[in-house]
Amino acid sequence: MKINELKKGMSNVSLRAKVIDISDKREVMTKYGRRSVADATLEDDTGQITLSLWGEQIKSISIGDTVSITGAFVTEFRDKLQISIPRSGRLVRE
């Protein structure tokens, strides 16, 4: 699937894109307790989208990597689409 095809509410999304930026890690309080999160900006030939990285995912990729994502879902935060990977999904650096 391409980034420009993603719509809010989609699930079980598979995507291949390049990591062009990763924000600094921050601590947030979730219903599961305190967790680390960072935002990665992904890009393919159709556009860009933000990927939320949680915990160990933050260290698993770097700027410039090409990644494959499976089992993800699309949400909207502050009027921008973003993609998240649930525990059942996968993030793989190619």
- Domain residue ranges in the chain: 3-93
Dihedral sign for Cα 8, 17, 88, 37, please: negative
Residue with tokens 């967790």: 35
Residues 26-63 have pLDDT tens digits of 999 999 899 999 999 999 999 999 999 999 999 999 99
Distance CA 40, CA 33 (A): 22
Residues 72-92 have pLDDT tens digits of 999 998 999 999 999 899 999
pLDDT score recorded for residue 32? 87
**Could you confirm whether domain 3-93 is CATH 3.30.830.10?**
no
CB 3, CB 17: distance < 8 Å:
yes
What is the band of 4 on the pLDDT scale with cuts at 50, 70, 90? Answer: very high
Q: What is the reported pTM?
A: 0.91
